[in-house]
Chains A and B, each alone.
Chain A
Amino acid sequence: MAKVFIYPATSLILSDLVARFGHKPLGAALGIRERIQTAGVDSPPLQITPEEPKRGLKYAAVEVPSGVRGRMAIYGPLIEEAEAAIIVTDADLAFGCMGCARTDELIVFSLRQSGIPILELKYPSNEEEGVQFVAAVKKFLDGLPKEEGGA
Chain B
Amino acid sequence: MSRKVRIAQLSCGPEYSGVQKEIYEAAESVDAEVFFPDIALADVERGVDAFGLDVRSADLKLMIARAMALVEGKVDADGVFIGTCFRCAEAAIVRNELRRYIHENSRLPVVSYSFTERTTSGTLLTRMEALTTIARRRALLAREEQTGITMGVDSGSSTTKAVVMKDNEIVGTGWHPTTEVIKSAESAVADALEMAGLTREDIQAIGTTGYGRFLIGKHLGADLVQEELTVNSKGAVYLADHQRGSATVIDIGGMDNKAISVIDGIPGTFTMGGICAGASGRFLEMTAKRLGVDITELGPLAMKGMGENVPMNSYCIVFGTQSLVNALAAGSSREDVAAAACHSVAEQVFEQQLQEIDIKEPVIMVGGTSLIEGLVHAMGRLLQTEIVVPPHSQYIGAVGSALLASGFIKGE
Contacts and interface: CB of A to CB of B under 8 A. Distances in A.
A51 B84 CA distance: 18
Contact of B13 (A43, A51, A70): A70
Contact of A102 (B14, B18, B57): B57
Given A49-B18, A53-B17, A100-B57, A67 B88 contact: yes
A69 B18 CA distance: 11
B21 A66 contact: no
Contacts of A94: 41
A66 B115 contact: yes
5 contacts: A53-B16, A64-B87, A67-B13, A67-B17, A93-B45
A58 B299 CA distance: 48
B85 interface: yes
B24 A67 contact: no
B14 A67 contact: yes
A66 B85 contact: yes
Nearest to B15: A46
A13 interface: no
B168 interface: no
Contact of B16 (A46, A51, A101): A46
Interface string A31-51: 000000000001111101111
A85 interface: no
A98 interface: yes
Contacts of A44: 20-21, 24
Q: B13, B45, B88: which has the most chain A beta carbons within 10 Å?
A: B13
A99 interface: yes
Interface in A99-117: 99-102, 104
Contacts of B13: 65-68, 70, 99-100
Interface of B: 12-21, 24, 41, 44-45, 55-59, 61, 84-88, 90-91, 115-118
Nearest to A51: B18
Given A50-B19, A53-B17, A65 B45 contact: no
Contacts of B85: 65-68
A110 B85 CA distance: 22
A102 B115 CA distance: 17
A51 B20 CA distance: 13
A102 B88 contact: yes
B15 A65 contact: no
A43 B121 CA distance: 13
A38 B91 CA distance: 31
A99 B18 contact: no
Contacts of A54: 117
A97 interface: yes
A23 interface: no
A53 B24 contact: no
Q: A66, A97, A99, A101: which has the most chain B beta carbons within 10 Å?
A: A66
Contacts of A51: 18
Interface in A76-101: 93-94, 97-101
A71 B19 contact: no
B253 to A, nearest CB: 26
Contacts of A98: 58
A52 B14 CA distance: 12
A127 interface: no
Contact of A65 (B18, B21, B41, B88): B88
A101 B56 CA distance: 6
B18 A45 contact: no
A45 B117 contact: no
